[in-house]
Amino acid sequence: MKKCLWKAFLVGLLLTFGANAPVLAAKKVTHKTVAGTSKKAQAKPQRQVRSGKAAKPSKMTQAAKSAKRGKIMRAAKGQKPVARRLARKTDVHHVSLDQQFENGKLSLYSASAYVIDQASGEALVDKNSNVTLPIASISKLMTAMVVLDARQNMEEVIAVGDEDVDTVKGTRSRLPVGTTMTRQTAMLLALMSSENRAAHTLARHYPGGLPAFVAAMNLKSRILGMNRTHFEEPTGLSSNNVSTARDLAVMVAAAAEYPEIRAASTTAEATLDVNGRIQNFSNTNALVKSDTWQIDVSKTGYISEAGRCLVMKAKVASRPVVIVLLDSSGKMTRVGDAIRIKRWMESASLSYKPRNA
């Protein structure tokens, strides 16, 4: 009897163990499969394995997907404003006529500006054109005219002396004291590279010396009708060399009548022998090197009192014009203003009427 009961007990244990074995095995496999995941993530796959149904996306999964989609959408939307910002920065250099005009005014950053059509005498741009300002090295155009009016021998050799060293601003020069050159070379360097010692040497070798030369500069300005212009010396280093944009337009037009000034002021660069040393000189106006400009006369100027200045006689939109830009604060502002004027004139929608800038 006891043996029968014992056998029955053993059979029951075996049956119980056999029934639970698949569950334990399944649990072990499940733990191996989802190892490294969170407990919540482990629980769901267990139920799915037991149920045999296809997995459904949980609320967390859907939220994650929505967040991801949101990031993608925000990124895509964010690209457009960036593109527009870049486009606006680029458009600064390619502004249309309508954009350049605001309340009928052309946006120029020079304190004084004047553009006149040489053929019709029509003022196309007028901004503070009657204000008297220092003109810096724009003075050298008058210096060149006075030299040429004296009909001096342009092949005569002249020398840089101690008197030609700048004691006003203390500027440097690539022409040491004792440098010899022809009068023609001195004029080239004065107009192209704005060499102060070259301009001063020209004036000092004028009949009657420097005082007579300065007197001739002021007489020439009166003859031309430049009544608000005064010269104190030939280089423009003195802030007492003053004029207006309107007066300078007259001076530029007069300078354009001299072939020597047209050639020298628009020479892009030159290689010269200075005291046995080969040196390269460049034009201070970068626009003379541009194929998009037709420039007959050019001169730049700068001292702190005058700011950056630029005058040119050029053909723009098939029209001969004189452009005068005075007291530009930034190094490239005067060039930028010249380019803005050119694009404005070239615009097909421009009606050629005098406008205030």
- Known active-site residue 137: yes
3-state DSSP call for residue 168?
Answer: coil
**DSSP per-residue string spanning 5-36:** HHHHHHHHHHHHHHHHHHHHHHHHHHHHHTTT
Pairing of strands 355-356, 123-127: parallel
Taking only Cα atoms into account, the Rg of the chain, rounded to an integer number of angstroms, comes to: 41
Structure tokens at 335: 């060039």
- Known active-site residue 140: yes
CA distances from 28 to 25, 35, 109 (A): 5, 11, 80
Catalytic, out of 110, 129, 137, 173 = 137
CA distance 149 to 214: 13
3-state DSSP call for residue 321?
Answer: strand
* Burial annotation 36-67 (CB, 10 A radius, 16+ → b, else e): eeeeeeeeeebeeeeeeeeeeeeeeeeeeeee
Catalytic, out of 110, 173, 193, 194 = 194
CA distances from 300 to 164, 168, 192, 322 (A): 20, 19, 9, 14
- For residue 263, report the phi and psi dihedrals to the nearest 5 degrees: -70, -45
Structure tokens at 316: 């723009």
CA-nearest of 272, 295, 269, 271 to 282 is 269
Which residues are part of the catalytic machinery? 137, 140, 194
